[in-house]
Amino acid sequence: MALTRMEHYLVLTDDIETTKDFYCQALGMHVGARPPLGFAGYWVYLDDVPCIHIAEWQSYTAHSQSLGISVTTPAPGTGPLDHIAFTAVDYPAIRARLNAYGVAASENIVEAAQLTQVFLRDPNGIKIEINVFTPKTH
C-alpha cells in the first residue's frame, strides 16, 4: 500500500453551523458538494479539495454505531492530536480576516526560515496553524 495524500480530517461537534461558519468566514474556505451520508454535516473545501468534514456528534455516532464503526468520545482538548496546519499567502489579509471574525491568534516568527506562523483554535478547541512563508526580496 502506498499512501498518496491526506484527504481530510473530521471535526465532530455539537454545533455544525458555528463550526462551518468558522472555517468559511474566519479561514476563507467554502462549503461544497457532499453525498448523503446518513448523518448531519458539511464538507468544507479549500479550492477544489474537500479537506474538512464537519459532522454533528449525535447523528454521526448513531450512524457509525449502526454500522459497527467506533466513534471518538468527547474529551477536553484534542487528545493526542495537537494541531492541523495549512500553508497560506498574504499574511496581512489573514490577520485582517481573523480580526474581522473575532478570532484570537498568536504568532511565531521564524526569521531563519522566512516564516510567520499563526496559531488559533476553532470553536471546538482544535488548534490550527497557518504557515506563511515570506521570502525576502532584494
Q: What is the pTM of this model?
A: 0.84
User: Which amino acid would we find at residue 28?
Assistant: G
In the chain, the domains with their CATH numbers are: 1-73 (3.10.180.10), 82-138 (3.10.180.10)
19 vs 23, 24, 70, 89, 118, CA distance in Å? Answer: 7, 9, 23, 23, 19
- Give the chain's mean pLDDT: 89
- Confidence band for 137, pLDDT divided at 50, 70 and 90: low
Query: How far, CA to CA in Å, does 116 sit from each of 28, 65, 69, 122?
Result: 18, 42, 40, 19
- Rounded CA-CA distance 23/45 in Å is 9
Q: Could you read off the pLDDT of 73-124 as tens digits, one per residue?
A: 877 777 767 789 999 999 999 999 999 999 999 999 988 889 899 999 999 8
